[in-house]
Amino acid sequence: MTIRVAIADDQTLVRAGFRVLVDSAPDMTVIGEATTGREAVRLVAAATPDIVLMDIRMPDLDGIEATRQISGNPALAATRILILTTFETDENIVEAMRAGASGFLLKDAEPADLIEAIRIVAKGEALLAPSVTRRLIAAFVTTAARQPPTQLPSRLGALTDREREVLVLVANGLNNAEIADALYVSVATAKTHVSRIMAKLAARDRAQLVVIAYETGLVTPSSAMR
């Protein structure tokens, strides 16, 4: 299956570089480019790509709002957004997560890392490697420390005790294999738990589970793994 990729960035050279890189991979192709957030929203609505490489800072409409509009469109539920940023500690990353982004990647990442990131996000696993997840969580914790948690949504009550335990581990950046080790279960069982949690919470992917866990107070800055 070919992964269909859209690129949204206001810099011509950046778009050209990403296009050459993506098109060089045997299992993916670029189906369109956008130079502003509004163009990105229109492009995605028309072409329904599997993955959008989205810059945060763009004219007309920034990448966060463009992500929010795309993620809020039920017809685009299968489209995943990978945020591209220049700064690893950019707090906008947290807002992009809340808006519906599935992960993020630094623009100066190695070409092989970008290709692998696209493949991982296309599978719905999101958030890339655990090390990247934990950097993102560090940014999330910094922001969450300034804001009180939202009221625990009633749908969180649908989770079993085991599922809440798994959700905490997901929010702390553990992948399925690490969750399996922590709970002394098989990787298949851990994956099943995560899938059921996503279904019950109507989450697009693991990235949204992290957001839910922090925003509901299930995981707090003081309880996060260091």
pLDDT per residue over 24-71, tens digit each?
999 999 999 999 999 999 999 999 999 999 998 888 899 999 999 999
Cα 139 to Cα 95: distance, rounded to the nearest angstrom = 10
Q: Mind listing the pLDDT tens digit of every residue in the chain (226 residues)?
A: 899 999 999 999 999 999 999 999 999 999 999 999 999 999 999 999 999 999 988 888 999 999 999 998 989 988 999 988 776 555 676 777 778 888 888 788 888 988 988 988 888 765 544 555 555 556 565 655 555 555 555 668 889 999 999 999 988 878 888 999 999 999 999 999 999 998 898 887 787 888 888 778 787 755 555 4
Q: What is the residue type of 157? A: G
Domain boundaries defined on the chain: 3-124, 144-215
Q: What is the residue type of 134? A: R
Side by side, which strands form the sheet with 28-34? 28-34, 3-8, 51-55, 80-85, 103-106
Cα 86 to Cα 67: distance, rounded to the nearest angstrom = 17
Dihedral of the alpha carbons of 21, 24, 25, 27, in degrees to the nearest 10: 120
Domain 3-124 has CATH 3.90.245.10: no
How many other C-beta atoms lie within 10 A of the C-beta of residue 129?
15
Cα 41 to Cα 46: distance, rounded to the nearest angstrom = 9
List strand residue ranges (DSSP E) for 71-139, in order.
80-85, 103-106
Cα 67 to Cα 56: distance, rounded to the nearest angstrom = 9
Fold designation for 144-215: Arc Repressor Mutant, subunit A (1.10.10)
